[in-house]
Structures are given as structure tokens and as C-alpha cells.
Amino acid sequence: MGKPAFPAGFLWGTSTSAHQVEGGNENNDWSEWEKQPGRIRDGTTSAEACRWWNGSAEEDLATAASLCQNAHRLSVEWSRLEPEPGRWDDAAFARYLRLLAEMRRLGIRAMVTLHHVTLPRWVAARGGWLARDIVSLFARYAEECIRRLGGSVDHWVTINEPASVAGAAYVSRYWPPALGSVRAGLRALGAMLEAHAAAYGAMKRVHPAASVGIVLSTPRFEPARTGSRMDTLICAAQDWVFIGSLLRALRTGTLLPPLAGPARPPGLRRSLDFLGANYYGQYAVRFDPLLHERLFGRHVQEPTVRAGECDWGQISPEGLTRQLVRLSAMEVPLYVTENGIHDAADAIRPAFLTDHVAAVHEAIRRGADVRGYFHWSLLDNFEWAEGWQPRFGLIEVDPVTQKRTLRPSAHLYARICGSNGATASGRERASQGSP
């Protein structure tokens, strides 16, 4: 199997999020939304999801442990923990504590996200990320979570993919509240950075040694036509709004245009103990004067890696290496917090998985301090506006019977995890004669 290829203590895991796997979430901004005709592409709803709230989480994580995974990234559902303003639900906290205790028993480290797409209904009614008091509400929630769950969590993520939420929910009408306003999107994005900073401060006051970070979506943007000045310009603009301006804000503490909000949100500068990167692929960006809500850039990649209309980009392991090397400038440990592909037949996933793990290895070789890789996802789940059609799981789930079936990639990933990446490192692959 060869010598371990990754640093000692590397985290090998998978990611999920509460609304996508728990089932029975009836008190957040997706509960009504997903039941409205036309909102979810295949007409499904999260419904029972993967029944994680009712006990299946423990079974699925036992499977993950048996597949040599030593970490899992999950999220907690704000609407369960604080169903009404200022009222904490002890039973919901107890449910998460039981799950976290079981993870510890299984030898699975926990990375816990506080906000992964959904907001409690009552927060949404106040305006969601545009609500006047959203920053203090989020910080109060973060503080309560670390007080009650802190002893069982290894790493905390404040917010998952702020730019995706701002884009899908506020700029376009893909996710609730579907505002369709660029201005609202930029304000929501600024508010999420402010809220991250406030939560970071509040959490560190309770547990100064806690490891707290944020997760950004970090696709690679490339001009569609080499030599086109407009493609190059628009590509740089998309990268700046989606990634560059956020990195800059987190490093310097200053919100630069077009991010909207206070110029220097309190506590933002260096409010990171680590940075999480979600990476699915690369966008080929082509200037399109009619696409103003996409900053005049159309993504024109070949549709070979896409199912339906979802836009996760072109497969490019190289792009992951380059993004991780770029993120090293943040001078904090890095984690790949999501990376995966929807592929029900598991035809593309094996090579995708091996190539992306090798790409992480290459980034480490080039000096990036990457401490873990979390594949999206452990099991098929409710894929937001796309419903159940895209299948991202290492484990196949039938949402009706709840039957689990391991895809070949689950075993392949077990070999990668069990060998600390040796089976996927560039060196091993080269010696086996793989491309």
C-alpha cells in the first residue's frame, strides 16, 4: 500500500448538512418553500430525508467509521435549537449531544457548521440576512451552541458558502427568499461576513481554544476564450465577487466594493482559525452583455459533468490544487470541506475521487497546509432546489424505503482513508501506471 502520503493526523471524512439529511424540518425557511409547486425541479421535498433526526445518523456514521473515515462534517439546525426567539430547545440540544457522543465513540472527529443554507422561520420573517438584528441574533445562537456542545466538537464552521446563499437566495430566485436583487445579495453577503465575525468573537470568549472558521465556495473561474479581453475581465470580476473580496475581507477586516455593509465590521480581521474550501469544479466564463445578475458572464462548460440544470462546473482536479495553493495566502490551516460529483451510476466518481485526493496531495507538496478532506457526501440526500435527482453519495439511499447500498466509490474511499491517502497520491498512482 506504500508509505502514508499525507501528514499525520490528516482528517478523512465526508460532509452532510442538517436539512439535507435529518428529515422532519418543519420550522425553517425551506419547509413551506419546498412544498410550493415549481420550486424543486423534480417535485420532491426533503420530507424524511435520510431520517438522521430519528436515529439513522448513528447507523450511517457507524458505516462511515467501518469505511475508515475518521471525521465528519455535519450541521446543526438553528430552527430546532432556537424554535422561537430566545427559546432554546433542550431536547434538540440533547439529540445533537447524543450524536456527537456516538461519533466520538466511533473515532469520528466532528466539524460542525452553524448555518448551512436554512434559517429558522422566525428569522426569515424578520428579513433573513437582511434583518436589522441578524448579526446579534446569529452571534447569540453561536454562543449558545458552543456553550452547550463545545466539549464534543473539534472544529466549528460559522457559515457555509456565504456567496452561494447570497447569490441563490437574494440575487436570483433559486432559493428562498428569492428576492431577485443584486443589491440585496450584496447586503446579505456583507451581513454574513459581519455575522461570522460577531459569532467568532462570541465563541472565542466562551472557549478561547476553540477552532472556528468559515467555509467558502471556491470554484475556479477561467476565461472561456483564451485571448478574449472581455472574458478575462468578466472572469476576474466573478472571482472577485465570489471569492477574492471575501478572502480580502477576512484577511484585512475591510469590506471593499461591491460588498455592502460597514467598512470595517468589528472583529472581522483575522477571524479565522482555519478556512474551509468547498470545491466542485471550474467555470469557463464567457462575456454575455445580457446576463447582468451573473455579472455579464455565462458559464459555458460542456454539460458532460452536469445532470439537470445545476451548475457545479467542469471537472478540474488541477483547479483544486491551484485554489488550495492560492488560499495558503490566508496563513491558516485549510480543509477541503466539500468535494464531490453527482453520479448515480458511480461511473465517473472513482476517478474523480482519486484525482481530487491526488490534487490535494499536490497542493500540500507545493506548500499548502491542508489538514483534511471531506467528500460530499456520505450518502445521497435532498439536493436543495434540484431535489433528489442529483446523487452525490458514496452510499446510495432510496428515499422511500430508506435502503442503503454502498457504491463502489465507498470502498475505494475506504482504501484511501485507510492508507492515509497513499493509494491516491501522485507517487503511488504513477508507480501503478495510472494517468
Show which residues are catalytic: 161, 338
Q: How far is CA 37 from the centre of its chain?
A: 27
> Which residue among 6, 10, 384, 413 contacts ligand FCB (CB under 6 A)?
384
Report CA dihedral (40, 41, 46, 49) to the nearest 10 degrees: -170
Which of residues 346 and 383 has its CB atom nearest to ligand FCB in the complex? 383
State how beta strands 334-338 and 274-278 pair.
parallel
Return the residue nearest ligand FCB (CB atom). Answer: 17
Closer CB to ligand FCB, residue 70 or residue 164?
Answer: 164
Cβ neighbours around 10 below 10 Å, total: 20
Cis peptide before 152 (omega within 30 of 0): no
Q: Quote the least distance from Cβ 8 to ligand FCB, whole Å.
A: 29
With CB under 6 A as the contact rule, the residue among 12, 170, 283, 376 that binds ligand FCB is 376
Cβ nearer to ligand FCB, comparing 161 with 222: 161
Closest CB 22 distance from ligand FCB, rounded Å = 13
Stretch that binds ligand FCB, among 118-126, 141-149, 326-334, 376-384 (CB under 6 A): 376-384
Q: What mask of x and - would describe binding to ligand FCB in positions 200 to 229, judged by CB under 6 A?
A: -----------------x------------
Which residue, among 337, 295, 323, 28, has the nearest Cα to 186 in the 3D structure?
A: 295
Interaction of residue 242 with ligand FCB, rule CB under 6 A: no
Does 118 bind ligand FCB (CB under 6 A)? Our answer is no
- Does 392 interact with ligand FCB (rule: CB under 6 A)? yes
Interface with ligand FCB, residue 383, by CB under 6 A: yes
Q: Is 328 in the site for ligand FCB (CB under 6 A)?
A: no
Least Cβ distance, residue 432 to ligand FCB (angstroms): 30
CB 271 within 8 A of CB 201: yes
Which one of 83-91, 157-165, 206-214, 298-306 is the stretch in contact with ligand FCB (CB under 6 A)? 157-165
- Of 93, 107, 119, which is closest to residue 176 (Cα–Cα)? 119
Q: Which of residues 275-294 bind ligand FCB (CB under 6 A)?
A: 278
Contact present, 309 and 266 (Cβ < 8 Å) = no
Continuous segment of H or E residues that includes residue 222: strand 220-223
Dmax (CA) of the chain: 59
By CB under 6 A, the residues from 56 to 95 that bind ligand FCB are none
Bond preceding residue 399 cis, omega within 30 of 0 = no
| DSSP characters over 100-146 | HHHHHHHT-EEEEEEESS--BHHHHHTTGGGSTTHHHHHHHHHHHHH
Q: Which residues bind ligand FCB (CB under 6 A)?
A: 17, 20, 160-161, 164, 217, 278, 338, 376, 383-384, 392
